[in-house]
Amino acid sequence: MNTNAKESLVMTGLAVGFFGLAGAFALTLWAKPLEPVVNPPTPPDFTNTATVRQSPAEIYRTEGDTSGFSCYSCHDAKKKLEIHLDTNGEAILAEPHKDLVMRHGRKNRNDYCFNCHDAKNLEQLRVNEGQTFKLTEGNRLCGSCHGPTYRDWERGVHGRMQGFWDLSRGASAKSDCTSCHDPHAPSFPPIKPGPRPHALHPEPAAGETPKHTP
Amino acid sequence: MADHTCNCGGNGANSCASGKPSTPESGKVDRRSFLRKSVVMTAGLAAVAASLAPLRDLTDLGSVDQFLQKHYKELTPAEMEKALERIRGEVSRQYGLRPHLRDLKPMDGVEFVYCLNLTRCVGCRKCVHACVAENNQSRSPEIQYIRVVKMPNGTFDMERGDHTYAPETVPEKGFFYMPVQCHQCKNPPCVKVCPVDATWQEKDGITVIDYNWCIGCRYCEAACPYFARRFNFATPSIPKDQINANMSYLGNRPRQKGVMEKCHFCIQRTREGKYPACLEVCPTGSRKFGNILDPNSEVSYILKNKRVFVLKEEVGTLPRFFYYFDV
How big is the CA angle at B304 (ends B303 and B310), to the nearest 5 degrees? 30
Q: How far is B176 from chain A (nearest CA, A)?
A: 13
**Cα torsion B30, B35, B37, B38: sign:** positive
Rounded to 5°, angle at Cα A158 from A155 and A162: 80
> Under a CB-based contact definition with an 8 Å cutoff, are residues B316 and B309 in contact?
no
Name the β-bridge partners of B141: none
Q: Do the chains contact at A191 and B122, CB–CB below 8 Å?
A: yes
The residue type of B85 is E
> Which residues on chain B are in Cβ contact (under 8 Å) with A41?
139, 239, 242
B8-18: average pLDDT:
46
Percent pLDDT > 70 in chain B is: 91
Q: Would you place residue B327 in the very low, low, confident or very high pLDDT band (cuts 50, 70, 90)?
A: confident
Mean pLDDT calculated for residue range B171-188: 96
Chain A residues with beta carbon closer than 8 angstroms to that of B130: 46-47, 49
Nearest residue of A to residue B131, measured between CA atoms: A47
8 A C-beta contact, residue B6 and residue B22: yes
Taking the CA of residue B71 and the nearest CA in chain A, the distance in Å comes to 30
Residue B156 and residue B176: Cα distance in Å, rounded? 10
> So what's the pLDDT on residue B7?
47
Listed residue (A197, A41, A47, A163) closest to B130, CA to CA: A47
Kindly list the residues from chain A whose CB atom is less than 8 angstroms away from the CB atom of residue B49.
22
Distance CA B89, CA B83 (A): 10
Q: Where are the alpha helices (DSSP H) in chain B?
A: 31-51, 64-68, 77-95, 126-134, 189-193, 219-223, 267-270, 277-281, 298-305
Give the closest of B47, B107, B279 to A25, CB-based. Answer: B47
Residue, of B208 and A3, whose pLDDT is higher: B208
Whether B124 and A200 lie within 8 Å, measured CB to CB: no
Alpha-carbon torsion A84, A85, A87, A90, what sign? positive
Going from N- to C-terminal start, the domains of chain A cover 48-180
Q: Is B47 on the interface with A (CB under 8 A)?
A: yes
The contacts of residue B126 (CB under 8 Å, 6+ apart) are: A46, A47, A194, B281, B282, B283
Residue in B144, B272, B281 nearest the CB of A197: B144
pLDDT value of residue B122: 96
Q: Give a three-class secondary structure readout of chain A.
A: CCHHHHHHHHHHHHHHHHHHHHHHHHCCCCCCCCCCCCCCCCCHHHCCCCCCCCCHHHHHHCCCCCHHHCHHHCCCCCCCCCCCECCCCCECCCHHHCCCCCCCCHHHCCCCHHHCECCCCCCEEECCCCCEEEHHHHHHHHHCCCHHHHHHHHCCCCCCEEEECCCCCCCEEECCHHHHCECCECCCCCECCCCCCCCCCCCCCCCCCCCCCC
What is the tens place of the pLDDT at every residue in B275-320? 999 999 999 999 999 999 999 999 999 999 999 999 999 999 999 9
Whole-angstrom Cα distance, residue B281 to residue A38?
25
Say which amino acid occupies B156: F
What is the model's pLDDT at position B121? Answer: 96
- Candidate from A3-17, B159-173, B253-267 with smallest mean pLDDT: A3-17
Please report the pLDDT score of residue B10 as a whole number.
Answer: 43
